[in-house]
Amino acid sequence: MKGREIYSDLRCVPPVIVRLDGRNFKSALFRMELEKPYDIRFASAMADAVELLFRDSGLSPVFAYIFSDEISFFFQELAFEGRIEKIDSVVPSFISSALTMLLEPEEPLSFDSRIIPVHRQIVADYLIWRQAEAWRNCVNSHAYYTLLSGGMKEEEAATFLRKKGTSDLHELLFSRGTNIARVPAWQRRGMMVLKEEYEIEGFNPQLKEKTLSTRRKVVQNWDIPQFSSPEGTRLIEDLTCPEKQETI
């Protein structure tokens, strides 16, 4: 029967992006009474679950980009010899378990996963694309719940939004007291979990002098730049430069 495991030897070659999406989160989180359209407790749990993967999974992503219930992990080295079945099961199962433990919902939470082969030169294009989706999601979500708070039914609000452009939604929100450009940066641009360098001081007993060593720690960044900006370009270049990646 082992021969019937026809997909088990499918492999991918790094670098890759592994993107996770929450599955049926609306129903699973319904009873938690999360704040709409964005809830700081949910966002914190997403970032904390990703940080746990960096620290405790044995996997080595370079960084993760998060918005809403979507997570994109960038890997320059792959565990399991690049076996797709392993990567596409271990990564989402770890995050599903971590997020369920952190939020303690009444129903289990789950993610699906896909592997996206990339090369270093197109990582910026990918992140710009997903950040544009984060912005679109931010505008639409604020507009949707603004309409609901004004008395519209869910189906009516969804139909209204499909017929409106982004500028129309900006005006709608502004007229209802929301300047979408001033909502928290993590709602507009997403957030990242990454490895940051820091220095520690030591002492060399043979030379009898102080020494400085560089280490890396996992951090959360809730105020990331626009990836299409010069600052964003520099950040992506620093993160994807292979010679700068070290084991924590």
| d(C-alpha 145, C-alpha 148), whole Å | 5
C-alpha distances in Å from residue 102, one per residue of 47, 69, 176, 228: 11, 14, 34, 33
Ranges of each domain in the chain: 1-121+192-248, 126-187
The per-residue pLDDT for range 120-142, each reduced to its tens digit, is: 889 999 999 999 999 999 999 99
Question: In the CATH scheme, what architecture does the domain 1-121+192-248 have?
Answer: 2-Layer Sandwich (3.30)
Residue 71 contacts residue 91 (beta carbons within 8 Å) = no
The per-residue pLDDT for range 49-98, each reduced to its tens digit, is: 999 999 999 999 999 999 999 999 999 999 999 999 999 999 999 999 99
Rg of the chain, C-alpha, whole Å: 21
To the nearest whole percent, how much of the chain has pLDDT over 70?
Answer: 91
Overall average pLDDT of the 8-30 stretch = 90
- What SS3 class is residue 111? strand
